[in-house]
Each structure stands twice: as C-alpha cells, then as structure tokens.
A and B are shown apart, each in its own frame.
Chain A
Amino acid sequence: MAESGGRLRRLGLGASRQHLPLAGSAAGAVVLAVLVAGGFDPLEKPAADVAPLVVGEAVDLGPFTVTVERMRVVDELPGVSEGDDDTRVLALVATVTATGTTTEYGAMLSESVALDGVPGVPAEVLPGDTADPDEPVPAGDVYVMADGTRLDAVQPGLEYEVAMVWEQDARAAVPSEARLVLVGRTLRQSSIDRSQEWLDPLPVVAGDIDVTAPSAEPSEPAEEDS
C-alpha cells in the first residue's frame, strides 16, 4: 500500500483505515488507566466548606480537636515578651487534644490556628521565603497554661489548656475583634514514601472572636518565671 503522498499522509491513511480499532482501544486503555489511577487532579482544589467559628465549641481539625475559649492582649508573658515596648502579645486561650494514637508535635498545632488580617502581626518568614501579607498568620508559639512552658508535643489522650500567642507591633491599634482561621488536615498516605501523614491543610473554621484589652483583666497565663 505504498503510494505517493509522503510519509505523513501514508500514516494518516493507515491510521484511518486499518488501525482505527487499535487506536481506539489504545485511547480507551489510556482513559481507563487514568481513571483507575484516580483521574486528573482538578487545577484548583475546591475550597472546603468553612464553617463559622463558635467560641467554646470543639472543632475537629484532624490531628487535633481545638476548642477556642477567649482571646486577650497580654502585656507580659514570661519567656515570650517581657514588658517589651515594641510588641504586645495576643493570646488565644484554647483547649487542645490529640485525636490519634501517637504524639503530634507542636509545630503542626501552631500552624493549625491562624490570625487573619490583624494589622501589625507579621508572619514568621524563613530566610529566602517571602510572606504573603494576605495569608493568615499561624500562631507563633503554644504555651501550656498550667505551667507556662512551651507545648512542643501533644500526647494522645490528654487535654491541654493552652495559650496560643502572636506578637503584634505595639504601634498598631489593639484590635477589638480578630478573625481566626482553624486549619484542618487529612490523614492519608504520602505519595512520596507511602507513610501515613497528616497532609492537605485546608481552612475548616473561620470567624471573628472578641479581643479583651490588657487593662480589662490582669494577665493570666503562667505563674512560672524561670
């Protein structure tokens, strides 16, 4: 069936006449393979349903259950900010439990609670990274109310009353309200090493919480000063 018309034409003719069923089944196989593998990821993940924040109600974030209690401005918090004129501390009091059967570390907990759009609260930026000023700012640190020490590991089965803290530039106005974003995660197999990990951080709950000014109440967390 070698005719004139060049190679491309010949290939085209060949495909249309003889190899059509073959090409069809090949395409079918590709589609099937893609479907079996889970299909293509959508370009943008659909935004999860973000529920409104209810103070005093437990929120399941995946690795943790977090109950937001209250938020206040603290002039002094031992080990965090000691009477510093340049910064003040916004402290969110919350109750935290780990849901799983193994220790979850504090970094994930502080990344799970973020402040959105409060002036003068900058994100901690790693060298070489740039901060997006519109992104919610995760808590700088988490302290245990009972002893004022840093909560760097959340043990399963224990309930912790914690203060999550953000430093605010003292030149910015004391907010009367702040928007909190609670970030949830899903336990799934990592595509890199097939281990089970808490991945895919997505906002689960967001809403405003009243901020109590420092003069209104004495600073609460931590009697320990070592």
Chain B
Amino acid sequence: MGGRRVARPPARRLNGLPRQAAFAVLLVAALATGRAVEGLMPVDDETSAPFERTGGVGDRVETRWGDVEVTSVAGSTRISDPYGTVHVTGGVYVVVDWTYTAAGEPQVPAYVALRDTEGRVFRTSVERNPYSSGGAAQPGIPRQVAAAIEVPADAVAGARLVVTLETNPEDHRRDDIAVIDLGLTQDDADAWAASEETVEVAEPADGPEAAS
C-alpha cells in the first residue's frame, strides 16, 4: 500500500511548507512521540524483568538453569553456621534448606535472598547470613544447600525465597529466577523471635535428601 498515494502532493495541506521540510518535521515529531511513549510506559522495566518461576515448600520449581525444591524452613534468634560460629540477631533468623539440581551443565546459584511482602530484599552474605553453594553442581546430581538470613520479625510472614544464578540483581533481567513462598505466618514470626534455640545451618552436600 501507499505506492500510488505518495504521488499525490500532501504539501498543499501543510500551508505551503516545502515538502521536504514537512517531511523533516513529521519525522522529528514521530521520533519525539516514540521517545515520549517509551518514557511514559514502563517499557524498559517490563521487557527486562526476570521470569519468576513460583512455587511453595515441597514444590519442584523448574527454571532454565535447574530445579529448586525447598525442603524445610526453620527459624530462631540464634544460628550456628557451618564453621560452628554462633550468630545472634535482634530480629529473626530464617533458615531455609533446599535441594538444587542443575540443568544442562554445572551451575552455581549464587544469588539467594528473602523477599518480604513489602518488597524488601534480604540477601545472604559470607558470615552473618551464611549460604554456601558448594560450587557448581553437576547436572542431575541433587545438591542440598541451606541459607540463614536475618530479617526483622515483621518481614517473616509471607516471605519468599529468591534463588538465581547471577549475584548482581541487574543481571537477572530476562533470566529465570525461582521464587518460593515459604508459607510463613505471623505465628511463625512470633515464635521464632522468642526462640533462643540454636539452629544449625547445614553444609552443602550432594545426593538425595535421605542421605543428608
């Protein structure tokens, strides 16, 4: 379409502006409109958002880079990390055990965090929020891992575990992230905030769950 219509001079309608000038104005206007629309709409956020693969405790959540299955969730104000160091929090330590099975090639899920219902993100660290992946896991061989993250008590109810490969959140764009609802309630939060029992954070281990 349009092949013939171009021949009809549109210049007359534009108050005698030279045809080329009119074209230039139209082009700039079109570009500016596109830019404005792009700026007004959340295009960047939407197109670069990660793909959230969701599930609950005991579900096998499948992602591009492997499966994540949360096996247990515990909590207290005291934990003992894999080196035996005891950490005490003024909030709550949420301790999550899960099984990770890599797909395709050896992979390391290096990003582990809790996300609360307000959208706050609590990430693991080396010492105070211990998580060790045990290095790249061979595909098909389940790896048992654990993380303990300290959060304020009001972040516990409804918290989700987020697991993915890249440590930098910027690099989560257009990649799969596993988001697991830990099924926690305010009762859990209250009980754990009052608990002084030391919860042990397990070292990474290979093999099916029964072996650990």
Q: Do chains A and B touch in the complex (CB under 8 A)?
A: yes
A155, B122: Cβ atoms under 8 Å? Answer: yes
- Report the minimum CB–CB distance from A154 to chain B (whole Å): 9
Contact of A149 among B87, B90, B120 (CB under 8 A): B87
Cβ contacts B149-169/A at 8 Å (1 or 0 each): 111101100000000000000
Q: Which residue of A lies closest to B79 (CB)?
A: A147
B151, A155: Cβ atoms under 8 Å? Answer: yes
B119, A101: Cβ atoms under 8 Å? Answer: yes
B87, A101: Cβ atoms under 8 Å? Answer: no
Cβ contacts A46-69/B at 8 Å (1 or 0 each): 000000000000000000000000
Once A149-B87, A155-B149 are accepted as A-B contacts, the answer to whether A103 and B125 lie under 8 Å apart by CB is yes
Once A160-B90, A195-B170 are accepted as A-B contacts, the answer to whether A155 and B150 lie under 8 Å apart by CB is yes
Q: How many A-B residue pairs have CB under 8 A?
A: 74
Total A residues in contact with B, Cβ cutoff 8 Å: 23
Whether a CB of chain A sits under 8 angstroms from the CB of B91 is: yes
A153, B129: Cβ atoms under 8 Å? Answer: yes
B127, A150: Cβ atoms under 8 Å? Answer: yes
A152, B126: Cβ atoms under 8 Å? Answer: yes
- Report the minimum CB–CB distance from B132 to chain A (whole Å): 14
Contact of B86 among A102, A159, A226 (CB under 8 A): A226
Complex Cα spacing A158 to B155, Å: 10
A102, B123: Cβ atoms under 8 Å? Answer: yes
Sample (27) of A-B pairs whose CB atoms are under 8 Å apart: A101-B118, A101-B119, A101-B120, A101-B121, A102-B120, A102-B122, A102-B123, A103-B121, A103-B123, A105-B125, A146-B90, A147-B87, A149-B127, A149-B128, A152-B126, A152-B128, A153-B129, A155-B122, A155-B149, A155-B152, A156-B122, A157-B152, A158-B91, A158-B150, A158-B151, A224-B86, A226-B85
Binding site for A on B (CB under 8 A): 84-91, 113, 118-129, 149-152, 154-155, 170
